Chains A and B, each alone.
Chain A
C-alpha cells in the first residue's frame, strides 16, 4: 500500500482540473443517480417489488429486453457484413455510405421516430406494401424492432471496422496455402479475430436499445402488455406522480444497464488478454 494516492507532477493545473472534473461529475451524474438509489432505498424493497411485480411492468420489461436482444442480434450480423464491405470491397459511393453509417447517432431520435412511423404505418410507403402482403409493421412489435435496429445500427460496424483494417493479409494467405477454402478461412480465422470487437458492439447496441425512447414511442402504438416499452412506463408513472413506481422501474433498468457495462468491460479485458488488441 506504499503507492501514493497521487504522484507529484511538475505540470500545473492539478487543482483546477481535478476540481472542475469532480465537481461537474458529482453535480451532473453522481448526485442524480445517487438520488435515484436513495429514493429506492427510502421506499424499501417491499414497495419497489410491489411496483415492479405487476403484469404490466413485467410485460414492458420483457418486451424491451426481448426486442432489444433481437435488434442487437440483427445489428451484430449486419454490422459485421457492413464493416466488411466498407473495408474490403470497392464500389461507387463507398465513402458516402461510410459517412452515412453514423446517421442514427446524429439524427435526433424524435425525428427518426416520426419518419419511421410515416414510412411503416399502413398508409406509408413500406407500410402499404406490408398491408398488401397481409401484415402490419408500425404499431406492432415488428415496428419497435425496426426502430431499435435503426438506433443501434452504427455500433457493431464502428467497433469492428478498425479491427478488419488491422487484419494481416498474410494470415489469410497462410490459411489458403494450407488448403483452407475461403469460407473455411472466414469462419475459422477471420470471424474469431472479429469476435471480441463485434461482441462489444453487440453489447453497446443492446444497452442503447433497452433505454431507447424517442424513436420507439411513435411507431410502437403503446398498447399495455403488447407494445409498451419499459422507458415509456417510467414516463407514464411520472405523469401519474407515482414516484415509487417510476423509481422501481428506473432502478430495474439501471441495474440491468450496469450489468451490461460490466459485461462490456469483461469482454474487453478478456480480448486484450487473448489477442492483444481492441
Chain B
C-alpha cells in the first residue's frame, strides 16, 4: 500500500531544464556580444602594438594634460555634488514642506535631459555672446570654452547622483536619532557629524563613486561647452575622440583603456559596497 513510485517531480515554480539552459545560453551570448566584446576590444586595440607602445602614448603631453584636466574637473565637480546631495537630502528628509515632490522632480531633471542639450543650455547661459557671459569674459572670467564651463557641465549631468542615494536611506532612518541627540544638548553640526553621517556614509560613498565615474567620463555635455582646445580644455574623453579621428588608434584606445579600468574599479567597489554594507544602502541596491 505504501509503495509510492519514486519519481522526481519538477517544482511547479520553475521552468523545464531545457528551457532554463536555452534561456541562459541565449542571454549570456547576447551579453558577450554586446557587453563583454566591446570591453575586451578596448584593451585588445590598446595593446595591439605592445604594452610599451601603449604606455608611451599615455606619456605624450596631450594625453598627460587630458588626464590632469579630467582629474581636476572631477576633484571640483564631485565634492560640490556631494555637498549638494547632503544638503538636499537633509532639507528633503528632515523637514515637512509643500512642493517636496516637485523639488525631487527638479533634482532628477538632469537625468532626462540629453547631455548635448545640457551643454547647449550652458552655452546659452554663459556663452561669450550672451549678456552675462560677455560681461564675465570682459572681467577676465570666461566660463564657456574654459574650466568653469566643463565643471558646470559635469555638475549638471551628475546632479542627482548623491541626492538620489541619500534620500531613501535618510527617509528610512527617520528623525528620531537626531532628535534624541538634540535633546541631549548636541549642536546641529555635532548631530550631523556624529549621528547622521555615520548612518549615511556608505550610501554617500556609493553616490560619490557613481558621480565620479560619470564626471570623468562625460562626453556630450563637455564636447559642447569645452571648445575642444588641445592641451587646455580637452578632457580625456574629448582627447580620445580627437586621437581616434586622427587615426591614432593605439593612443586613443590606451587612453580609453585607462577610463575602462576606472569603470571596472568603480563597478568592483560598487559591488563590494552592495555586498558588505547592504543594510546601509538604498533598498534597490541590496542583494
Contact = CB atoms under 8 A, between A and B. Distances in A.
A88 B229 CA distance: 51
A71 B253 CA distance: 26
Contacts of A172: 12-13
B58 to A, nearest CB: 15
B266 A106 contact: yes
A125 B37 contact: yes
A14 B95 contact: yes
Interface string B96-118: 11100001011111111111111
Interface stretch (B21-29, B49-57, B134-142, B197-205): B21-29
A189 B284 CA distance: 23
A211 B217 contact: no
Contact of B219 (A17, A36, A108, A115): A108
B280 interface: no
B175 interface: yes
Contacts of B109: 29, 33, 261
Interface string B252-278: 110010011001101110110000000
B155 interface: yes
B152 interface: yes
Given A14-B91, A254-B113, A100 B35 contact: yes
A118 B220 CA distance: 20
A21 B38 contact: no
Given A82-B31, A234-B120, A119 B188 contact: no
B24 A89 contact: yes
A182 B91 contact: no
A258 B111 CA distance: 11
B216 interface: yes
A238 B34 contact: no
B188 to A, nearest CB: 3
Nearest to B117: A250
A28 B236 CA distance: 23
A245 to B, nearest CB: 11
Contact of A114 (B14, B88, B90, B240): B240
Interface in B117-140: 117-118, 120-125, 129-130
Nearest to B210: A105
B117 A111 contact: no
B246 to A, nearest CB: 12
Interface residues of B, number: 102
A5 interface: yes
A118 B45 contact: yes
Interface string A30-42: 1111011001000
A145 B11 CA distance: 39
Contact of B38 (A33, A116, A210, A235): A116
Contact of B96 (A6, A19, A78, A153): A6
A119 B38 contact: yes
B12 A176 contact: yes
Contacts of A16: 87
B217 A110 contact: yes
Interface in B66-103: 80, 83-84, 87-88, 90-92, 94-98, 103
Interface string A94-119: 00011111111111111111111011
Contacts, number: 288
A85 interface: yes
A9 B95 contact: yes
A253 interface: yes
Contacts of A211: 112-117, 220
Contacts of A257: 112-114, 117
Contact of B271 (A19, A39, A99): A99
A19 to B, nearest CB: 8
Interface of B: 12-16, 20, 23-24, 26-28, 30-31, 33-39, 41-42, 45, 80, 83-84, 87-88, 90-92, 94-98, 103, 105-118, 120-125, 129-130, 152, 155-156, 159, 175, 178-179, 182, 187-188, 191-192, 210, 213, 216-220, 223-224, 236-238, 240-241, 244, 249, 252-253, 256, 259-260, 263-264, 266-268, 270-271, 283-284, 287
10 A-B pairs with least C-beta separation: A211-B114, A108-B217, A12-B188, A214-B219, A32-B121, A176-B12, A213-B220, A20-B87, A106-B263, A6-B97
Interface of A: 3, 5-7, 9-14, 16-21, 24-25, 28-33, 35-36, 39, 78, 81-82, 84-85, 88-89, 91, 97-116, 118-119, 124-126, 146, 149-150, 153, 158, 162, 169, 172-173, 176-177, 182, 186, 207, 210-214, 218, 231-232, 234-235, 238, 243, 246-247, 250, 253-254, 257-258, 260-261, 265
26 contacts: A9-B96, A17-B91, A19-B87, A25-B107, A32-B122, A33-B113, A35-B121, A35-B124, A97-B28, A102-B270, A104-B35, A107-B39, A108-B217, A108-B219, A108-B263, A110-B256, A111-B42, A115-B45, A125-B37, A150-B35, A182-B12, A182-B14, A234-B224, A250-B116, A260-B112, A261-B112
